[in-house]
């Protein structure tokens, strides 16, 4: 079991690196092509997220802002957050280097001066994306539904943010596009994602009952975001329910009175 868990953890980090790199490269390629208008960029980014989730056969975040938002909402552990964010940023940097190699020239940097309009636009776009992504995760939808909703949410967020910014709503993609600006393309997406995840958790998250094996009682907990370890969690929950059921049957047999001859 430990080896399986270790393999899943490594695969999850690798998926964030590869997926973020591919997403950033797609955004760079489309945005710098002849059809580089925001609507085409948004559709390409959303489609890339859906196809990457399908190809990798797992939930993927591919966005440091979303990962940090889930961490502040206590939906992901601290160690996993650090590993995911590091992998995502490395993926963005790899996309930058690869695109620069293919284009045979440097990527022109975007202005890094602070602009409140860009900050708010990036925050609002990331808010919509994170709110939708958190919603389908809290509802414990099938991972295919979560993939489609995340892709659609990203498309919507980019279209909205494009009204006043380059519409990255992703610090890793901003790094790949040579637009690393703490006050706009980093702080904006992170702030928006944090608000989106926590607002959904505060207002709309349901609470489920999980059976504890030891006591055989029901405990009410917040619905978790089911990610890479959902199979293991499900198996443990099923085993807990079986143990609780056996305990209840044993207790009934113990108190059952004997028939008089």
pTM of the model: 0.79
Asked if residues 202 and 133 have their Cβ atoms less than 8 Å apart, the reply is: no
Asked if residues 111 and 178 have their Cβ atoms less than 8 Å apart, the reply is: no
Which are the contacts of 156, defined by CB distance < 8 A and separation ≥ 6? Answer: 42, 128, 129, 132
Asked if residues 229 and 7 have their Cβ atoms less than 8 Å apart, the reply is: no
What does the pLDDT look like over 121-167, one tens digit per residue?
999 999 999 999 999 888 877 878 888 999 999 999 999 999 999 99
**CA separation (Å) from 96 to 21, 87, 160, 172?**
9, 14, 25, 10
Asked if residues 188 and 120 have their Cβ atoms less than 8 Å apart, the reply is: yes
Q: Which CATH number fits domain 10-203: 3.40.50.620, 3.60.150.10, 1.20.1080.10, 2.40.10.10?
A: 1.20.1080.10
Can you list the alpha helix ranges (DSSP code H) found in 73-161?
Answer: 78-103, 116-138, 143-161
Confidence of residue 254 (pLDDT cuts 50, 70, 90): low
**Beta-carbon count within 10 A of 48 CB:** 21
- Region of 92 (left: φ > 0; alpha: ψ -120 to 50; beta: rest) is alpha
What does the pLDDT look like over 72-97, one tens digit per residue?
999 899 999 999 999 999 999 999 99
**Spatial distance between the Cα atoms of 177 and 143, rounded to a whole number of angstroms:** 30
Asked if residues 60 and 164 have their Cβ atoms less than 8 Å apart, the reply is: no
């Amino acid at each position: 079991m430990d080896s399986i868990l270790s393999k899943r953890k490594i695969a999850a980090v690798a998926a964030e690196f590869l997926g973020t790199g591919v997403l950033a490269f797609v955004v760079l390629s489309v945005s710098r092509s002849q059809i580089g208008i925001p609507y085409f960029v948004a559709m390409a980014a959303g489609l890339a997220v859906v196809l990457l989730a399908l190809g990798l056969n797992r939930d993927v975040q591919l966005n440091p802002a979303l990962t940090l938002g889930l961490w502040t909402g206590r939906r992901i552990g601290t160690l996993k957050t650090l590993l995911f964010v590091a992998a995502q940023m490395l993926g963005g940097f790899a996309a930058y280097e690869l695109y620069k190699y293919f284009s045979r020239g440097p990527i022109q940097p975007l202005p890094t001066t602070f602009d409140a309009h860009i900050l708010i636009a990036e925050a609002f776009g990331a808010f919509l994306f994170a709110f939708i992504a958190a919603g389908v995760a809290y509802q414990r939808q099938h991972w295919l539904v979560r993939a489609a909703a995340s892709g659609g949410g990203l498309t919507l967020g980019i279209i909205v943010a494009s009204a006043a910014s380059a519409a990255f709503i992703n610090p890793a993609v901003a790094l790949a596009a040579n637009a690393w600006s703490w006050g706009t393309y980093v702080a904006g997406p992170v702030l928006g994602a944090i608000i989106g995840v926590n607002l959904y958790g505060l207002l709309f998250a349901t609470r489920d009952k999980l059976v504890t094996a030891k006591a055989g009682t029901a405990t009410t907990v917040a619905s978790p975001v089911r990610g890479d370890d959902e199979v293991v969690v499900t198996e443990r929950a099923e085993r807990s329910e079986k143990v609780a059921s056996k305990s209840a049957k044993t207790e009934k047999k113990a108190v059952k009175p004997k028939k008089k001859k």
